[in-house]
Structure 1
Amino acid sequence: MEQRVVLITGGSSGIGKAIGVHLKSKGFTVYGTTRTLARHTNFSHFELLELDVRDAHSVQGAVAAVIEKEGRLDILVNNAGVGITGPIEETPYEEIRKAFETNFHGPLHMAKAVLPQMRKQKSGLIINITSIAGYMGLPYRGIYSATKGALELLTETLRMETKDFGIQLTNLAPGDFATNIAAGRYHVPPLEGSPYFKKYSDTLAMINDDVDSASSPDLVAKKVFRITEAKRPKVHYTVGAFMQKFSLFLKKILPDKVYEKLLLNHYKL
C-alpha cells in the first residue's frame, strides 16, 4: 500500500510533534511545519517546512512544495494554535485579532490550500485540532474558547460542502495536555487595582496547574491515528481526562444556568 502523506501544522513541539512521530512510526510520510525553521536545525523526527498559517502566501507555498515532492497530499492535521487568557474587557484587541488569525483563519487558509489537490485525488482527510474549551465559554479563556468553537462550526460546514468529492473532515477536541502552550500563550497580566485582579489571578494559577499536571500528548497522537483508520470519521471527537469529557455530557443535559453554576464553583468565582 502506498504510504499516506500527512501535513501537520505546528509540528515542531507539543501535540503536533507527538502526532508526527506516532504517524511516522505507523508508516506515514510526515511533514510538519514551523514558523521559524532556523530554530529547529537539529530537528530530525520528520521533515519540517517553514510555514506561517496566518499568511496565505506562506501556506500556498508550503502545500505546493509537499505536492510537488510527493505528488499527493492525503491528510492535513490543523494543529497550530496559540493560547490566550485574560478578562475580555482588559484584553487588547490586537491580541484578540492575533488569536483568531492563528486559531481560526490559519486552519481556514490551510483547508482552502489543500482542498483542490484532495478534490483532484477524490480523497483526503482534514483533522482540525480544536479544544474541549471550544464547547463552552470559560471564564478568562473566552477568546480562546471562541476561536476553537468557530473552528468546530467551520468543520461542520466544510464536511457538507465537500462530501461529494471524497474528502472527509473531522474535529478532534483535546482537553489539557502537558505541552509548552503556556510558555507561548498571551495572557493579560493581572493588574493591581483591576476589578478582576483577584479572581483572574487565582484562575490563571489554576489553568497553569491543570496544564502542568496534564497527560502526555501521545494520547492525542494515538487518537489521530485511529481517526485516520476510520472509514467514515465522525464529526466530533474528544480526548482528555474523564472529567473534562464528562463536562461536555453535562452541558448537553443540564439547564444553562445550572451548568454555569458548576463552572463558577469549579473556578471558585
Structure 2
Amino acid sequence: MSKVILITGASSGIGAITARYLTAQGYRVYGTSRNPKKTDQEFELIRLDVLDNNSIEEAVTNIIEKEGRLDVLINNAGMGITGPIEETPTHEMRRVFETNFFGAVEVIKVVLPQMRKQKSGLVINVTSVAGYMGLPFRGVYSATKGALELITEALSMETKPFNIKVTNVAPGDFATNIASGRYHSPVLKNSPYAETYQKNLDLMNEHVDSGKDPIMMAKAIGKIIESSNPKIHYKVGEFMQKFSIVLKRVLPDRMYEKLIMNHYKL
C-alpha cells in the first residue's frame, strides 16, 4: 500500500519540489499551505497554518478520514530572519520561533496519536546546516533550527517504543525563493553594524542564488523514507557546508569562530 505523506510548507521551494518528487515515486502526498490556491500541482494542496492549532487538527483529521492512515510527516514549513541581534525586534524573533520550532512541534503532537495507533510512522524535521552553528546576522534563525535539531533527538527516544522513527535533514544553501520570505531587520543608516550587515545580506543572497538544485533535498528525503532504520541527523548540500559541521567538532572554539568570521568578511 502506498504510504500517505504530509508535507508542511509545500506551496513553493523545497516543499513543493519534494511533494512533486514523492508523488512521482508513487506516494500519496498531501502538501500544505496557509493559503492554498488552485494550481497545476500534481499533489493535493490543503490548508494548514502551523501557527493555528485548529487548522492543524482539521488538516490531519481530514487526511486520516480520507486515507485511514498517516505514515510520514515532513515538517518543512519555516521562515528566515536576518539582522544584528541587538537591532532585531524581539517580537520578530518570537514569530520565527513560533513558526520554525513551535509550529513544527504542534504538527508533531497532532500526528503522533495516529502513528501510535498504527504502531508505525516517520517524522522528518527539515532543519538547516545553520542550526549547527551560530552565524553572524542569522543568529535567531540558527537558534530556531538548532532547537528543532535537539528536540528531534529527544523525540526519537520517546517514541521508539511505539515504532515511530524521528529524524531530521539539514539543507545547506539551495536555489529557492526563501530570501523573499525572510524578515530582514532594516540596515539602519547610523547603525554600528550597517556596513558589515549589508555586506552579509548581499553574501547570503548570493549563496541562495547560486545554491544547489532543491531536487537533491527531495531525493535525500525519498531515501530516508525508504530506509528501514534512518539515522537521526542528515545533512544535504555543498561539501564545505557539511564539512563546517565536522570542523566545529574538532577545532578550538576561537579558531572555528575566526574561520566563520573570515568567511563572512567580518
Match of 1:9 in 2: 8
- Number of the residue aligned with 1:139: 136
What is the alpha-carbon root mean square deviation over aligned residues? 0.6
Q: CA deviation at 1:21?
A: 0.8
Distance 2:111 2:157 in 1: 17
How do 1:130-209 and structure 2 match up within 5 A? 130-209=127-206
Structure 1 residue 262, shift from structure 2 partner: 0.2
Q: Which amino acid aligns with 1:35?
A: R
The ranges of structure 1 where at least 4 consecutive aligned residues each deviate by more than 3 angstroms after the TM superposition are: none
Give the SS at the match of 1:32. Answer: strand
**Offset at 1:189?**
1.1
Question: Which residue matches 1:20?
Answer: 19
Counterpart-to-counterpart distance in 2, 1:66 and 1:96: 32
Residue 149 of structure 1 deviates from its aligned partner by 0.2
Q: Percent identity?
A: 61
The amino acid that maps onto 2:62 is: A
1:122 aligns with 2:122: no
| TM-score, scaled to structure 1 | 0.98
- Give the aligned residue type for 2:7: I
Matched with 1:227 is 224
**One-letter amino acid matched to 1:241:** E
**CA distance in structure 1 between the partners assigned to 2:21 and 2:38 by the alignment:** 21
1:70 matched residue in structure 2: 67
1:254 aligns with 2:254: no
Deviations 1:211-250 (A, max 9, x none): 0010111000000000011111101000000110010111
Gaps of 5+ in 2: none
For 1:24 and 1:107, locate their aligned partners in 2 and report how far apart those are by CA, in whole Å. 22
Of 207, 214, 218, which residue of structure 2 is paired with 1:217? 214
2: CA distance, partners of 1:43 / 1:180? 19
What is the correspondence of 1:94-105 to structure 2 with a 5 Å cutoff? 94-105=91-102
Q: State the secondary structure of the residue aligned to 2:41.
A: coil
* Contiguous gaps of at least 5 residues in structure 1: none
Report if aligned partners of 2:171, 2:237 keep a CA contact under 8 Å in 1. yes
The Cα offsets for residues 66-121 of structure 1, whole Å up to 9 and x where unpaired, read as: 00100000000000000000000100111101100110011100100000000000
Distance 2:248 2:57 in 1: 39
SS of equivalent to 1:162: helix
Matches of 1:76 and 1:130, distance apart in 2: 14
State the alpha-carbon separation in 1 of the partners of residues 82 and 262 from structure 2.
Answer: 19
Please report the TM-score for the alignment, with normalisation by the length of structure 2.
0.99
Contact 2:20–2:41 (Cα < 8 Å) also in 1: no
Tell me how far apart the structure 2 counterparts of residues 8 and 98 of structure 1 sit (CA, whole Å).
Answer: 21
Q: 1:118-139: per-residue Cα shift (whole Å, max 9, x none)?
A: 0000000000000000000000
Query: Structure 1: how far apart are the matches of 2:152 and 2:56?
Result: 19
CA distance in 1: counterparts of 2:4 and 2:181, whole angstroms: 29
Q: Give 1:42 shift.
A: 2.0
Distance 1:134 1:26 in 2: 30
Deviation of the 1:56 alpha carbon = 1.2
C-alpha distance in 1 between matches for 2:89 and 2:40: 35
Match of 2:261 in 1: 264
